[in-house]
Amino acid sequence: MADAASIPSSKRTSTPVVSCREVTRQYSRGADSLFSGQSQPTVTALDAISVDIHPGEFVGIAGPSGSGKSTLLHLLAGLDTPTNGHVTLSGTETTGLSEQRRARLRLENVGIVFQHFYLLPSISARSNVALPLVEHGVGKRTRWEKATGLLERVDLADRMGHKPGELSGGEQQRVAIARALVTDPDVVIADEPTGELDTATGEQIIEVLSESADDRAVIVASHDERVLEQTDRVIRLRDGQIVNNG
């Protein structure tokens, strides 16, 4: 867990929006003739880690390849469940939930920003942003208004009618951020959000994410130290364990 001194005083007393307690995640290597008739070997991606992330925090996750970054992101987002330990997201423990219930929990509480954007190419930026609200049963007029407001917020007021193929990489990533925010989630999770962008554009993206961490948590996994320097604190992983959390 984070040292109390590493968390701003205004956030120390708030309830964590996402919490891990003694979490271990193991994966099977799969079938191998060398191990025929024996127990399949496993890889321990995370090893008994504990961490709290509070509303209003902008948190970085760092570590070399194979350190457990992606596994931790998946657990925090409710995309996966631990082998052992407990993960709580927005007051609900995800361990033991069915995939259907975890999907609903994600829809209601998590916004995800992928490195490769994953925008639908055949519809406009505004339609891409509004899409998650369809699952929430929000009416078309309200969907349109919320998507418009968010695209204005990320400085894309003049591009909202364009399709993804007509936008630059930085513009597409800003559309992806607006889409992640449209449901007003408790936590936004971004996996290498600047990995395919030039330095100047990447800085703009991090600024947008930082500004989004007002009353929600924003978690960014990145190899880029310039990105990590902009966060409130950095959770550093090595060999599935937290080696620094401040």
Q: What average pLDDT does the segment 193-205 reach?
A: 87
**What confidence tier does 3 reach under pLDDT thresholds 50, 70, 90?**
very low
pTM: 0.86
**What confidence tier does 161 reach under pLDDT thresholds 50, 70, 90?**
very high
Question: CB–CB of 200/221 below 8 Å?
Answer: no
Please work out, in degrees rounded to the nearest 5, the angle formed at the alpha carbon of residue 215 by the alpha carbons of 117 and 155.
Answer: 45
CA–centroid distance for 3 within its chain: 22
**What confidence tier does 116 reach under pLDDT thresholds 50, 70, 90?**
confident
List of domains in the chain: 4-28+43-245 (3.40.50.300)
Q: Cα separation of 1 and 21, whole Å?
A: 9
Question: CB–CB of 124/164 below 8 Å?
Answer: no
Model confidence over 72-107: pLDDT tens digits?
A: 999 999 999 999 999 999 999 998 899 999 999 999
Distance between the two ends of the chain, CA-based, in angstroms?
9
Q: Which residues pair with 46 in a beta bridge?
A: 25
Closest CA to 179 of 147, 156, 205, 209: 147
Q: How far is CA 207 from CA 28, 194, 212, in A?
A: 39, 11, 9
Q: Which residue has 């079938």 as its token pair?
A: 31
Question: CB–CB of 178/150 below 8 Å?
Answer: yes
Q: Which residues pair with 218 in a beta bridge?
A: 58, 188
